[in-house]
Amino acid sequence: MIVREGKSVFKGVAIGKIFVYKKAENAVTKETITDVDAELARFEEAKAKAMEQLKRLYEKALRDVGEEEAMIFDVHQMLLDDLDYNESITNIIKEEKMNAEYAVFMTCEQFMGMFLGMDDEYMRGRAADIEDISKRVISILNGTQVSPEAMPEPVIIVAEDLAPSETVQFDKSKILAIVIQKGSANSHTAILARTMNIPSLVTTDIEVDTKYNGRTAVVDGFAGLFYINPDDETMAKMVEKKKRADEQRALLQEMRGKETVTKSGKHIHLYSNIGGVQDVDAVLENDSEGIGLFRSEFLYLGRDDYPTEDEQFEAYKTVLARMQGKKVIIRTLDIGADKQADYFGIPKEENPALGFRAIRICLTREDVFRTQLRALLRASAFGNLGIMFPMIISVKEIVRIKEIVDEVKLELDREDIAYGNFELGIMIETPAAAVISDLLAPHVDFFSIGTNDLSQYTLAIDRQNQSLDNFFDPHHEAILRLIQLTIENAHKSGAWCGICGELGADMEVTARFIQMGIDELSVSPGYTLELRKRIREC
């Protein structure tokens, strides 16, 4: 038995097989072959496997985000089956007697060059698609592919680290737990794990090696322990611990349908944080009163180009419709810092957390911003929408945002496109915004306090830096005072104020937030019923 220790980011017990996720290393070597037929067979087998993966990805995207978003995987299947592409690869194998990996690599280079040399922007964009399918085939050929869609069954994922763009690609129904060698309890990957309601460990003392693939393991999210090949005694204890945890979770079902109200009669709006359409099931299962944070940036991650207006509209509309009139607050694009998408072309920054991100991108790339706003406003006709803007630091930004919103409304009016009523709010994530919240409040309907960034900026501690975890104190009095100030200033101007950061689910400070006068708490769906119970006890 091997025992490793990590930092728990979601409590619970998971038992299952290990799936080691490693980024493929696609170094291609040029080798002369002697058996041409065998090499052609290797290529055909790898191509068939790649095609099957692309079909599964298409079906998953179709379920999660709609037909237009899924079309990219349909395009990849067509390119992989393209006659010229395949003839080039087989000719290199047959005539030059080169290995399949090299043949795919050379064909990829040739086709990318051809597409990039075209005048048509759409065709130039196909170069990235050719590169994607070629890397997929090469990684299958050289045995380095360990991709999200390759998971055979529900598993415990072990990885060095996971970027948000990687995490969103996993089939959530196949994840029992996540164990990360690096990471931080405050990283977006940890936040996603909490959203998925699965036991998860970060900063785990574990070697990320494929030799662990398929081994039986246990993640104890209560104690922060990871057992590999547990002995009979340990397994028996963990099975019993999991049983007790499941029973406790079942008891919380008594909170379903009950009001989120304190003993003195104060009602707190209890909402959920989500990353996409696929998370709405968890929101409904946990009886949330609404959605307090829809992280729209996940529509932009894990893809090769900007989502279209219609793609976004369908996603927003679906969520609003499924929530059946309950409040849905969608945060506009928050790309930057640890959430990167290559096609944005953001230059490398020395300190990305303080750099070109969120509303700063939107106000300097208004075409991207307006596309999202059009989709949001169109979707507002189908439910109870709130739109909030991240990383605000000045009144000037809000004024410009509202001007653009008005311009988009006029565009839709001219095109005779319907939209409904909606609230406008901002995130309070910087000390600057909290300090001048009295000046910001008259311009908005609500504040939502993002305690994750507010904490890191107030304490001057990078929340992604695991070596600083011991210095990171989310209960620091400076943070709590900024929250108190923000709530008071919101109420003075008739705005409501909520918390959508991870601190909202911290039961140790729930009573204090209520005393401060908080109106709303938005947390990962898995915390909803437990937090409702805590509020009802206050």
Of 192, 509, 284, the C-alpha closest to 499 is 509
Of 311, 302, 309, the C-alpha closest to 335 is 302
How many angstroms separate the CA atoms of 291 and 277, rounded? 11
Are 519 and 498 within 8 A, CB to CB? yes
| 8 strand-pairing partners | 201
Q: Based on the residue annotation, tell me whether 476 is a catalytic residue of this protein.
A: no
Of 522, 508, 436, the C-alpha closest to 475 is 508
Burial class (CB in 10 A: 0-12, 13-18, 19+), 153: exposed
Q: What is the DSSP string of 347-416?
A: PP-S-GGGSS-THHHHTT-HHHHHHHHHHHHHHGGGSEEEEEESS---HHHHHHHHHHHHHHHHHHHHTT
Backbone angles phi, psi at 432, to 5 degrees: -60, -45
Backbone angles phi, psi at 294, to 5 degrees: -105, 110
Q: Based on the residue annotation, tell me whether 267 is a catalytic residue of this protein.
A: no
How many angstroms separate the CA atoms of 79 and 52, rounded? 14
**From 76, 188, 362, 497, active-site residue:** 188
**From 108, 362, 497, 500, active-site residue:** 500
Active-site residues: which are they? 188, 500
